[in-house]
Chains A and B, each alone.
Chain A
Amino acid sequence: MRHLFRSAVCALGLIALSVIGAQAADFPKIQTPALFTSLGQSPDAKTLSVLAGRAKLAGEYKPLAGVEDVAAAKTVFITVGTSLKGFGSAGVNLDTEKKRCQDLVKAAKDSGAYLILVHIGGEGRRDAMTNQLLEELAPSVDAFLVYEAGNGDGFFTKAAGDRPIILVPKAIEIAKVLGNLAAGS
């Protein structure tokens, strides 16, 4: 009985890993230097940069990155999430963030940087303003990295269409996914 249970758990684990793997397969190996920036000034960009550091993925954290920062990067991770605190402390608002979004996208197209939309805030970061920023950015990115808890309405899978998307079922696995991407596996 115990053996059966173990086998079932292993099988489920393999299925889960294969799902992540299949979705990640289309992702190219992350080229460095990477840039971690935020749209909406939530702490998610900081979180991602810390996790990336733990995964030995070299990059610079600039929550208010501009076009010159994008031009200097090979890969740009843009976390999307609005924060009441972040807006105030950064002195920005929804309109200025939308404008910055357009500038970053254009700079990435000009320089050839690979643009990844990241959403790791889960359900809590699917508020109305975050959704506006997501709709602004999603059509223009090359790939998506999303914590599955934020995809309850299927927004990201639908927005990604044929583009690569990794849906991470557990938040704690994001660091592992970043490590795999850095290693090209």
Chain B
Amino acid sequence: MQIRGFHKVRQVTAVLLAGMGLTSLLFSPAAGFEYKSEKHLSKAAVFSKNGMVASAHPLASRVGVRILEDGGNAFDAAVATALTLNAVDMAMCGPGGASFWLLWNAKEGKLYALDADTQAPAAATPDKFADRSELLSGLKAMGIPGNMMAYCTVLEKFGTMPFSKVAEPAIRYLEEGFVLSQRQSHNYKTQAAQAPMMYPNLARVFAPDGEWPDAGAIMKNPELAATYRTIAKEGVDAFYKGSIAREMVRYMQENGGLWTMEDLANYKVLWVEPLHMKYKDLDVYGMPPPSSSVTWMEALKIAEGFDWSKIEDNSLEYLHLMVEIDRLAHADSYEFVADPKFVESQAENLLSDNYAAAQRLRIDRKKAAPGKVQPGNPAEWSRKVPASAALPDSLASEPVSLAESTRNMAYRGNTNHVVVVDKDGNCVSFTHTLGQFFGGQDILGNTGVIGNNGMDWFDLADNPWTEKPSNLIVAPGKRNRWTLSPGMFFQNGKPRILVGGSGAESTMPGIFQVMIRMLEYKLNPQAAISSPRFLYGDMYHYSAGTRLAIEPELRSLWEKDMVRMGHDSVPGSQIWRMSSGNVWVIEIDPETGTYAGGAEVRGDGHVDAF
């Protein structure tokens, strides 16, 4: 009787949710954004017509908009926002990190893709690392950084303002300080607790008393301000060949790091062809590997073959199908997303219609695939869809989940995504990161530059998922796989949606879920971001997690049914909401040309506009 009553409640809830959407549709205006009403508690989407910036920190979004108001374009604003994030959200990103950029030049009508990935130093062979912990933090964990070159390259190629101008607000925050938020303080104390003990040079700048400061503390990094001033005066060569490079390498070599002056001097950002696929009438673009855009794109391509109009949003059918699609895409991500100079790219094959059809054959609409779903065979299946019997079985595994160790955290995130659009329709979608909190967790000498821990995304031996030799083995000059995965959607040749995210392995499923909510269920960017999500697996590829964490709003409806269908769901008390990805979106209305923006509610996301 109780069970029947519970089903009735669920049915009524579903009907109410659907009804709210229908009512909204009936009263939609003829032109402009046509969204269904918001179903879940959420802040409101931001609408504007002159320009918009969405980022992970309100001060940074505000700086970006001020640059736009001062006459700068989207590229100026993007770099200003990035430099400011490096000041006010310094645990997440910095000039010593990596980034991937999609840049739409409206005047040229051309989309550019810039790879500023971190690169293994020439001395980085597997035998140089005693164990995985040396990939995780410390000087050996630091790849050769791309961010400073990316900022200067974007500005030089597309910007209208000099570095000194776009760096001004960041320099002010670095010298005068910004106020540490509650979330930031909590994150540092819980996620980087040991960093001040291990790395005195980091502690010298940010935790001089040996403890991470409490919320409300004024945080400064004047040495990074000085580095920015040097770049403004001497150009980016100062960072890769000049005085800043010498100081970073001196510190590295005196403390057991691997960088040399040659490593820095030989580093290049790469202009690459954007990755493309069709999703219905939309042209979808992402960054090619070693960015992970291909992973959420593959998930969307698989999803394209299902009739979502017959699948109710937030239904059991929806949840099961989305999880199974995500599992297939992620197994491929662990195997095929690697530096294309070292591992032949399968990106185009992964996004082919045939491959998506083959992947759909592997999905049972009534039950979950057991164990670890294995990667597909994109080279073969893209040519010919195999018979069902030829599709690979899962690899048996014991449940692996560390969700318990992350519960009770308000928020996690290691990366920043930024989306920008200006009054002329120029668009930028980029993700930049240091890796984990404070990256490699050390500051390089007196430069104020925090080094990344890009090396942590390499393997030292087998791929933990397939238990076979890994494509991600560390090698000199190799660029590491990142989960950074910016995207842009175009309709009739014009930008329609700018998207990207953060949250390690939760980034791609986060973007996938938000985009399905927008494209198939017509939610506005903020409502789509705020809708409940799931995460399958863990935050890092090498933990090879196999369990499913569902956010409370959906878990309360469907957890028992999902378990009955074979999903290995993390018990309700151990949910980790913050690890279901962080996503930022701007949508451009094709009718009016106006903008609607959404920022992650699970983090410090903020949309600013004018």
Q: List the interface of chain A (C-beta within 8 A of B).
A: 43-44, 46-47, 50-51, 63, 82-91, 93, 120-125, 127-130, 147, 149, 170-175
Contacts and interface: CB of A to CB of B under 8 A. Distances in A.
A122 B574 contact: no
A88 B334 CA distance: 14
Given A172-B209, A172-B210, A172-B211, A47 B194 contact: yes
Nearest to A47: B194
Interface string B187-222: 001110110111000010001011100000000000
B136 A128 contact: no
Interface string B391-434: 00000001010101111100000000000000000000000000
Contacts of A83: 402, 405
Contact of B197 (A88, A90, A123, A171): A171
Most chain B beta-carbon neighbours within 10 Å: one of A93, A127, A147, A170: A127
Contact of A127 (B198, B203, B407, B540): B407
Interface in B463-480: 464
Interface stretch (B86-94, B321-329, B542-550): B542-550
Contacts of A172: 196-197, 203, 207, 209-211
Interface in B563-587: 574
Contacts of A120: 193-194, 197
B133 interface: yes
A43 B402 contact: no
Most chain A beta-carbon neighbours within 10 Å: one of B133, B190, B543: B133
A170 B197 CA distance: 10
B559 interface: no
B277 to A, nearest CB: 31
Contacts of A44: 194
Given A120-B197, A128-B407, A88 B538 contact: yes
Contact of A84 (B210, B211, B406): B406
B539 interface: yes
A174 B197 contact: yes
B131 interface: yes
Given A84-B406, A93-B400, A120-B194, 8 more contacts: A44-B194, A87-B400, A93-B398, A124-B189, A124-B190, A125-B193, A129-B404, A172-B197
Contacts of B132: 85-86, 89-90
A41 B209 CA distance: 27
B291 interface: no
Contact of A87 (B136, B197, B402, B407): B402
Nearest to B404: A128
B137 interface: yes
Prevailing SS type, chain B contact patch:
loop
Interface residues on B, range: 35 or more
A124 B185 CA distance: 12
Nearest to A175: B197
A43 B137 contact: yes
Contacts of A82: 402, 404-405
Interface string B507-519: 0000000000000
Interface of B: 131-133, 136-137, 189-191, 193-194, 196-198, 203, 207, 209-211, 398, 400, 402, 404-408, 456, 464, 538-540, 542-545, 574
Contacts of A130: 405
A171 B402 CA distance: 26
Nearest to B402: A84
Given A120-B194, A120-B197, A85 B136 contact: yes
Given A46-B133, A171-B193, A84 B203 contact: no
Contacts of A50: 198
A127 B404 CA distance: 7
Given A63-B133, A93-B400, A121 B193 contact: yes
Nearest to B197: A171
Contact of B210 (A86, A90, A122, A173): A173
Contacts of A123: 189-190, 193
A124 B193 contact: yes
Contact of A43 (B136, B189, B542): B136
B196 to A, nearest CB: 6
A84 B539 contact: yes
Contact of B408 (A43, A88, A127): A127
A112 B47 CA distance: 70
Closest 10 CB pairs of A and B: A172-B210, A88-B543, A124-B190, A89-B132, A84-B402, A128-B404, A122-B193, A127-B405, A47-B194, A88-B542
Nearest to B193: A122
A93 B401 CA distance: 9
B199 to A, nearest CB: 10
A161 B231 CA distance: 58
A171 B197 CA distance: 6
Nearest to B459: A89
A47 B406 CA distance: 20
B202 to A, nearest CB: 12
Contact of B211 (A89, A90, A170, A175): A170
